[in-house]
């Protein structure tokens, strides 16, 4: 993998090879986050897939980045199960700049998403040095569980964490999700999908072991794509009252309005923009001046139809989106 720095006009300033990365299937160099005090400490964080003696693993590594060079490598968290599919990889600092959040896919072991002693199929929360926050719900890095492949992390103006997540795949694709993430909550995978609850399990996936149990508290998504539509959401960004996310299989930039009614905060209709214009959309990110949305494509990943200019970093004015 490569870490590339670009100038504001899109020209390359520097490039660093990350030799420890093993690109395998959906794995590789997957996520990047700058420390909130990056201007002073120059710390950046990368989520990377690597080959271990016992198989594929993922980890978060911190580097110092100065004058176009990386140095002072430090592993923040290690041993996140990896595989050819469902490696997650999104990392982001929360709104108070206190914690680093990490999206970890189930690595193809769907039932491990229900375990609070394994790291796959989870959203993790760490202190910037990799230590475990005292307020984490299970005494380890896990913040929420029951996830299939969360790939978008973004916070609204109330400081609430929204996550986009890939639903089922293959012939029976669809049921992609937008979740409202709560500390210690269980989001149901692999037992619940779509509008299912413990008492109304239509068995898209394996049946809930005891769906009549009174303490079953798996949370459904705030909104989902339905069984016949696939977004394959690979990112999330929020500006003002709008949630943006990229669609891989959906080949669009999606928006959804965040609406408040009394004390309740819900989501409006999901709308697709630039459908099939750029191909597979990986990351969306609102720029520092809140004028542009920066977008990366993922057309050379073996699943797209790349053009000569792929892959690309695209800049779109936020006012170009018709809500």
- Residues noted as catalytic: 86
C-alpha separations of 160 from 27, 179, 183 in Å: 28, 10, 11
Q: Which residues pair with 260 in a beta bridge?
A: 265
Q: Which residues pair with 8 in a beta bridge?
A: none
Q: Is 51 helix (H, G, I), strand (E, B) or coil?
A: strand
Q: Are 69 and 63 contacting, i.e. CB atoms less than 8 angstroms apart? A: no
Q: Are 176 and 231 contacting, i.e. CB atoms less than 8 angstroms apart? A: yes
Place of tokens 């057309």: 299
Q: Are 167 and 175 contacting, i.e. CB atoms less than 8 angstroms apart? A: yes
- Nearest in space to 285 (alpha carbons), one of 34, 85, 44: 34
> What is the Cα–Cα distance from 105 to 89, expressed in whole angstroms?
8
Q: What is the 8-class DSSP label of residue 320?
A: G
- Nearest in space to 231 (alpha carbons), one of 219, 221, 245: 245
H helix or E strand, kind and range, residue 273: strand 271-273
- Nearest in space to 154 (alpha carbons), one of 283, 321, 8: 283
């Amino acid at each position: 993998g490569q870490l590339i720095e670009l100038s504001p006009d899109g020209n390359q300033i520097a490039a660093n090879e990350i030799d420890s990365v093993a690109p395998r299937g959906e794995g590789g160099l997957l996520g990047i986050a700058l420390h909130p005090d990056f201007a002073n400490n120059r710390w950046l964080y990368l989520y990377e897939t690597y080959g271990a003696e016992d198989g594929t693993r993922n980890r978060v590594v911190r580097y110092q980045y100065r004058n176009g060079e990386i140095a002072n490598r430090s592993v923040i968290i290690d041993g996140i199960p990896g595989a050819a599919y469902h490696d997650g990889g999104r990392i982001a600092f929360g709104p108070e700049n206190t914690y680093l959040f990490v999206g970890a896919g189930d690595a193809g072991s769907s039932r491990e998403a229900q375990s609070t002693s394994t790291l796959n199929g989870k959203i993790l929360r760490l202190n910037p040095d990799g230590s475990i926050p005292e307020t984490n719900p299970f005494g380890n890095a896990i913040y929420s569980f029951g996830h299939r492949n969360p790939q978008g992390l973004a916070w609204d103006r109330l400081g609430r964490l929204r996550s986009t997540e890939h639903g089922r795949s293959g012939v029976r694709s669809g049921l992609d999700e937008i979740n409202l993430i709560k500390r210690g909550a269980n989001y149901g995978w692999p037992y619940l999908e779509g509008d299912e609850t413990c008492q109304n399990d239509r068995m898209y996936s394996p049946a809930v072991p005891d769906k009549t149990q009174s303490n079953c508290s798996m949370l459904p998504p705030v909104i989902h794509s339905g069984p016949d539509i696939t977004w394959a959401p690979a990112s999330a960004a929020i500006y003002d009252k709008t949630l943006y996310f990229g669609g891989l299989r959906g080949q669009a930039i999606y928006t959804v309005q965040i609406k408040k009614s009394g004390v309740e905060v819900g989501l409006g209709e999901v709308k697709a923009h630039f459908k099939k214009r750029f191909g597979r959309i990986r990351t969306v990110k609102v720029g520092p001046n809140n004028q542009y949305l920066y977008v990366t494509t993922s057309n050379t990943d073996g699943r797209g139809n790349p053009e000569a200019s792929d892959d690309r970093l695209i800049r779109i004015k936020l006012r170009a989106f018709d809500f």
